[in-house]
Chain A
Amino acid sequence: MNERRDDKLTAAARQLATEIKPQRDLWPDIERAIAAPEPRRSRWTPMFAQAAAVVLLVGASSGLTYLAVKDDRPVVITQPTPEYTFERASFGSSYTLGRDYLATRADVVARFEQQVERLSPAERQDVERSLEVIRGAIDDINAALQQDPDNTLLQDLLMKTYHEELNVMRKVGGVTQSVMSRRDI
């Protein structure tokens, strides 16, 4: 029964058209694409991005760790300053960030925005500078990934950099929360 059914299906499938004319001529677009000079893949850019990102991350991470372990700071409530703008996270041009990561990030960003206002202006400036450095690195790596989308080193580095961004924001949350609880007690 099933065999007969499969035979009928196979016979019918083999009568389907295998050659179908496109509704428009695709050649002009293809010709344009192959005539355009191939963007020169610079080995320098990815390597520079990797090296720069590593250096910047170490610096940013050290700064935030220092902030996190500093003792006995008074709670300083500053006047609200212009909102931080969090651009939508991206991952090169060929991949997208996972839903879990984006959800976690949105949560951390929301908490960060609340907590960062409790820092002193100087500390806040440090945090801002650190995040700026990390986001600059993310932009650099993303740009390098657009030129070299399959570079696994860059992909890995970008993942770590996003992770580092989350850590920085979490640390800020930790610092302000611990300061607040000491005062409360």
Chain B
Amino acid sequence: MAALLMMETGDNMAGMVSRTATSMRDDAALVARAAAGDTRAFEALYRAHVDRVYGLCLRMTGNVGEAEDCAQEAFIQAWKKLGKFRGDSAFGTWMHRIAVNAVLGRIRKSKREQDRIQVAAEMGSSPASIGDSGNLRDLSDAIDRLPEGARHVFVLNAVYGYTHEESSDMLGVAVGTTKAQLHRARRLLAQQLEEQGFEA
């Protein structure tokens, strides 16, 4: 379902899906070896998935340092939980779930969200816009300024193509909440971007 949805989401997604399709079997073999304690196999999994895991962490936190910590924590947790990975979903999707948990756990723990928003506002261009250009950089910055809940839902739904059911499951909230947050995110983004004369 997630794979089908992602196929409709533009070139970068399509590339990712085709790569995922060809590497899923490789992932399965690597997971089996890593679960048996082979750290080289786990490193190969890390190399294959780190950009996508880090990308999600960066989009959700909007902070390079926190995103690095969350991505590291996600891989450490994944190593510990490899024995529980049954292969019902792709390894990349499983990693995304763990990464979302790492981000939410870190936010709960640090309670530095307010500081982060202030710092991001002071810094102007947010580090989350790395990898984007032109108008997309404006959009990326605007996403980073969204309130936490709205930002998380928008990143998962609009940027990564997860369904409301999948996002609500990952974030541990009701489907109605993700729908309301997505609506709120779009409204706030439109307001911000209109002020900047953004053209999609």
Q: List the interface of chain A (C-beta within 8 A of B).
A: 5-6, 8-24, 26-27, 29-31, 33-35, 38, 94, 96
Once A11-B200, A18-B55, A34-B39 are accepted as A-B contacts, the answer to whether A6 and B16 lie under 8 Å apart by CB is no
Option from B67, B68, B139 in Cβ contact (under 8 Å) with A13 = B139
The one of A9, A11, A16, A21 in contact with B190, judged by C-beta atoms closer than 8 angstroms, is: A9
| B: contact size bracket | 35 or more
- Per DSSP, chain B at the interface is helix
| Cβ contacts under 8 Å, A18 to chain B | 12-13, 16, 52, 55-56, 159-160
A17 touches B46 (CB 8 A): no
Complex formed: what's the CA distance from A34 to B45 in Å? 14
Most buried by B among A9, A13, A14: A13
B39 in contact with A17 (CB, 8 Å): no
Determine whether the beta carbon of B109 is less than 8 Å from that of A26. Answer: no
- Tell me if A13 and B71 are in contact (CB < 8 A): no
A20: which of B16, B55, B72 is its contact (CB, 8 Å)? B55
Contacts known (A20-B131, A26-B50, A31-B39); A9 close to B158, Cβ less than 8 A: yes
The residues of B that contact A17 with a CB separation of less than 8 Å are: 12, 55, 130-132
Residues 70-96 of chain B, each 1 if its beta carbon lies under 8 Å from chain A, else 0: 011001100110000000000000000
B76 touching A19 by the CB < 8 A rule? Answer: no
Say yes or no: B50 contacts A34, CB within 8 Å: no
- Which residues of B have CB within 8 Å of A23? 64, 68
- Per the 8 Å Cβ criterion, residues 81-129 of B in contact with A are 109, 111
Report B-chain residues with C-beta under 8 Å of the C-beta of A9: 139, 158, 186, 189-190, 193, 200
Q: Which residues of chain A have C-beta atoms less than 8 A from B52's C-beta?
A: 18-19
Minimum CB–CB distance for B98 against chain A, Å: 13
